[in-house]
Structure 1
Amino acid sequence: MTATMIKEFRLPDLGEGLTESEILSWKVAVGDTVALNQVIAEVETAKAVVELPSPFAGVVAALHEQPGTVVEVGKPIVSFEVEDARSSENAGSSNGAAPNGGAAPNGGAASQTDEAPANPAKREPNLVGYGAVVEHSGRTVRRARGTVRTDAVAPAAVPPATVPPAAVSPAAAPPAVEHETAADSGTGERPRSTPPVRKLARDLGIDLANVSGTGPGGLITREDVQSFSGARHEDTATDVAPSASEGERETRTPIKGVRKFTAAAMVQSAFTAPHVTEFLTVDVTATMDLLARLKGSKAFEGVKLTPLTIAAKAVLIALRNNPTLNSRWDEERQEIVQFNYVNLGIAAATPRGLTVPNIKDAHGLSLHGLATELSELTATARAGKTAPAGLSGGTISITNIGVFGIDAGTPILNPGEAAIVALGAVRKAPWVVNDELAVRQVMSLSLSFDHRLVDGEQGSRFLSDLGAILTDPAMVMTMV
């Protein structure tokens, strides 16, 4: 009889420090046999809907969370009954014996909590947040991000390691916490918070030094941070949709997923970067004429072209002469980082809330290529299928408020970016042309920028160049 073991699968970090995800649906049930990398669930992070692959081949033993539940990274979500790879090392032992010689519970199913497979040749998939798979001492183990091999350095040289919850084995002690010196502590240290809580505090712009911890030993918990920010809420399976009964005067909707992420990001941006917004209204009649000609050309047959397409290309061209707007402020290192590439963010209104996916290396695309990427980006975002990687790494953004009939606004910067352009509606309006009044098509442009990075002259020059291109597309010849 083949010996088996129980393996728990903990929710991994699905993209750049995300701290939690909501289980949208299970694609398997208890008792189902699954293959390696088979999709077992669909989860929603703060950035995207993601299909979760199975890290094991075996039988589903238990589903620990129900659809609609928000789960923190590192929490067990499903258990598998898998073949015990170590059973071959115990040839000659009786059926039902555990590898260590003791009786295995459940008729031969040995409980396995060590995340490291005993067979070095059998390498499991490496999911984000679980650390790289490395080999030493004759067997394969997982090294958590931020940890140090204690067998490779002297004990005195090993710094305190912060282990992501997803990298902790199921049998491990409570999650690693950040420590700081405390003179009133008998050990010289007191626990502060876990990595997910620190990430939440950063997103909300909260200094943990101002938060009182209610956890064991003064540990600052997630609830402490939410209470401090005035945004404490309950994430339960029963609160997955707005709740209101007939006759009630208000409806309550849980703040989670994209809306929660967006709110935290906007608060952080608004209270971290000093915003300045400038406005410019321009005559875009020539641009609209160009757009009509391009739509009728064979070169763009089957390609969706809109004012946003031309404006996006104009932004990329204007950045060449005004590169300071394509930068970010590195607070930790006290440096201004100027990007030599452009990942162009496009704000998209989706059923899940506002997202800002970006087109990687947009600066190298032709107008045809940019139009194609914009169409794919918009369709993917509206379907809620944008991958987490597509929502991070932007360098400058555009928000097209004109599609809602709005002329101008004061957009808030996407965190980590120096500027954002809002495109207003294209309207027919009286305009002075050659000292005579005429009906023209006009558009208002709004530019918000981080005044730490961009001064008034630089912002004004960029906006002026952008307006000049949209007023007379032939002006591009003087800028490239």
Structure 2
Amino acid sequence: MGTHVIKMPDIGEGIAEVELSQWHVKVGDLVVEDQVLADVMTDKAMVDIPSPVHGKVIALGGQPGEVMAVGSILISIEVEGAGNLKESDKPAPVAAKETPVAPKVEAVVESKPAVAAVRPAAAVCQGPLVAREADERPLASPAVRKHALDLGIQLRLVRGSGPAGRVLHEDLDAYLAQGQSNASAPVAAAYAQRNDEEQIQVIGMRRKIAQRMQDATQRAAHFSYVEEIDVTAIEELRAHLNEKHGASRGKLTLLPFLVRALVVALRDFPQMNARYDDEAQVITRLGAVHIGVATQSDVGLMVPVVRHAEARSLWDSAAEISRLANAARNGKASRDELSGSTITLTSLGALGGIVSTPVLNLPEVAIVGVNKIVERPMVVKGQVVIRKMMNLSSSFDHRVVDGMDAALFIQAIRGLLEQPATLFVE
């Protein structure tokens, strides 16, 4: 038997260090070729590291949250044959019990050759109870731990059917179904005193999001502007187009109309479609409109980019928004799809509230935020009528954008949406 060493790969972009985000294996696991071993994080995306060999994991080269140099030993695998271990490469083993439990993280993977990711088969639950030491911390996501507390279940007594024995929501359901929990436990737990604490490492994508948000608020001079928009006409047009063309071209949401409104308004306000290099003190205005569409995923907020929105039809924009959102949520968005935006559109959909204060996506200088649509009585030509109203809550970098220009820009968007025919008049 020999040892095959996998080193932290050079992911490109001149990166010298990479953050180890999550292990998918532990010491003692048997792995197969192309099985995902770990997730690592660059400044732009999460990348999964597959195994090039079959074998048994004998050492892990780091812990989640650790920043590792490119070329350092990531993992050692015992293989048949001589392996590739050099004398200078012998790593310091990390015992399985020392590997901290990380929150469940879905990888944002890089585009690479299509390879079937083979993961170990989930353990078959042999019964509701499993013996663990009193101080042993079972593998489980924060959501599963909270669910177990609400149900009055001790996680150490539940057999996990997920990878590496991870306890899943369905394992809690199986535990209850087999009569191992008192039926009154959920009610009792709701009124019981709680003194539990849970520490969650800020690593991987969450750390990058935190750093970017902190950096944006410290470097840019944010100011926000909120405008009320009557979207009754645009919603009527959207419903008409969906009824007429939805079956053949796909359904339209409000987002592609907002994308079109941004594109048209930016013709008169090119200073909004810009990036500011505050170190070089240079503003770059761009002709191409690459709109970032903020998207919530399991690992946090991502901003996939609709490139060249100025050259897209409503349905083309709608299809691209849908494709990118699915890629981001499923962890399939590439670095190129998550970078290069010139202005960002953010929306919380039905949860959009009345007003929000979006944080700039540096080095951009403008972000347009969409709040929810509500029906309200409005006075139109002296008559009280019910209209569909929506607020745009937008933020700008006051170092680059003057308040008057920001107000006029949003007013231009308002005019386009309230008179939707003007979106298509050249």
**How would you bin the TM-score normalised by the shorter chain?**
0.5 to 0.7
Does structure 2 conserve the Cα–Cα contact (< 8 Å) formed by 1:13 and 1:73?
Answer: no
Q: Can you list the C-alpha shifts for 1:273-306, whole angstroms capped at 9, x where unaligned?
A: 1011111101111100010011112366352321
- Give the conservation status (yes or no) of the 8 Å contact 1:6–1:112: no
Cα–Cα, structure 1 residues 30 and 280, in superposed 2: closer, same or farther, change >3 Å?
closer
Letter in 1 for 2:357: T
Deviation track 1:284-336 (CA, whole Å, cap 9, x = no partner) reads: 11100010011112366352321222112211221122111111111232211
1:414-464 per-residue CA deviation (whole Å, 9 max, x = no partner) reads: 121111011111111122222322111111111211112211232122111
For the residue of structure 1 that corresponds to 2:198, the secondary structure is: coil
- 2:404 counterpart (439, 442, 457): 457
For the 8 Å contact 1:280–1:445, the answer to whether it is kept is yes
Question: Secondary structure of 2:358's match?
Answer: coil
The aligned counterpart of 1:43 is 39
Q: Distance in 2 between matches of 1:69 and 1:236?
A: 11
The aligned counterpart of 2:359 is: 412
Give the one of 1, 7, 10 matched to 1:9.
Answer: 7
What's the CA shift for 1:249?
A: 4.9
Cα distance in 1 for residues equivalent to 2:298 and 2:21 = 16
CA contact (8 A) 1:49 1:385 kept: no
Please say if 1:22 is aligned against 2:18.
no
- Residue 9 of structure 1 deviates from its aligned partner by 1.6
2:309 — aligned with what?
362
The residue correspondences of 1:366-381 to structure 2 (distance < 5 A) are 366-381=313-328
Checking the alignment, whether the CA contact within 8 Å between 1:27 and 1:39 is kept in structure 2 is: no
CA contact (8 A) 1:357 1:390 kept: yes
For 1:344, the equivalent position in structure 2 comes to 291
Contact 1:69 1:236 in 2 (8 A): no
Specify the alignment match of 2:101 in structure 1.
238
Residue number in structure 2 paired with 1:423: 370
Cα gap change, 1:33 to 1:252, in 2 (>3 Å) = closer
Aligned twin of 1:206: none
Displacement of 1:262 after TM fit? 1.1
* CA–CA separation in structure 2 for the residues paired with 1:347 and 1:107: 49
**Distance of aligned partners of 1:434 and 1:331 in 2 relative to their CA distance in 1, 3 Å threshold:** same
CA contact (8 A) 2:417 2:423 kept: no
- SS of 1:448's equivalent? strand
Secondary structure of the 1:328 match is strand
Structure 2 residue 222 is the aligned partner of structure 1 residue 275:
yes
Return the alpha-carbon distance in structure 1 between the equivalents of residues 3 and 201 of structure 2. 38
From the superposition, tell whether residues 260 and 15 of structure 1 become closer, same or farther in structure 2 (CA, over 3 Å). Answer: farther
Query: Which residue pairs with 1:261 in the alignment?
Result: 208
Name the structure, 1 or 2, with higher relative contact order (CA <8 Å, separation 6+): 2
Query: How many residues get paired?
Result: 332
Aligned partner letter, 1:306:
T
CA distance in structure 2 between the partners assigned to 1:107 and 1:19 by the alignment: 29
What is aligned with 1:308? 255
Q: Distance in 2 between matches of 1:16 and 1:370?
A: 33
State the match for 1:468 in structure 2: 415
**Does the CA-based 8 Å contact 1:24-1:44 persist in structure 2?**
no
Alpha-carbon distance, 1:368 to partner: 0.9
- Picking from 60, 65, 68, the partner of 1:72 is 68
Superposed displacement of residue 33, structure 1: 6.9
Q: Are the structure 2 counterparts of residues 378 and 110 from structure 1 closer, same or farther at C-alpha, using a change threshold of 3 Å?
A: closer
**Aligned partners of 1:378, 1:110: CA distance in 2, in Å?**
42
Describe the shift of the 1:108–1:329 C-alpha distance in structure 2 as closer, same or farther (beyond 3 A). Answer: closer
Is the CA contact (8 Å cut-off) linking 2:343 and 2:367 kept in structure 1? yes
**Which residue of structure 2 lines up, in the alignment, with residue 320 of structure 1?**
267
Q: Any unmatched runs of 5+ in structure 1?
A: 84-105, 114-169, 172-234
TM-score normalized with structure 1 length: 0.60
Gaps of 5+ in 2: 91-97, 104-140, 150-192
Q: 1:452 to 1:31 in 2, by over 3 A?
A: same
- The percentage of counterpart residues that share the same residue type is 30
Alpha-carbon distance change, 296 to 27 in structure 1, aligned in 2, over 3 angstroms: farther
Question: How far does residue 64 in structure 1 lie from its aligned partner after superposition?
Answer: 2.2
Q: Distance in 1 between matches of 2:358 and 2:424?
A: 30
What is the aligned partner in structure 2 of residue 188 from structure 1?
A: none
Partner of residue 290 from structure 1, selected from 223, 230, 237: 237
Structure 1 stretch 302-311 or stretch 322-331: which is displaced more?
Answer: 302-311
Q: 1:53 & 1:298 partners in 2: Cα distance? A: 43
Q: Residue 109 and residue 423 in structure 1: after superposition, are their counterparts in 2 closer, same or farther (change >3 A)?
A: closer
* Helix, strand or coil at the partner of 1:398: strand
Counterpart residue type for residue 474 of structure 1? A
TM-score by length of 2: 0.67
**AA aligned opposite 2:37:** A
Residue in 2 that maps onto 1:93: none
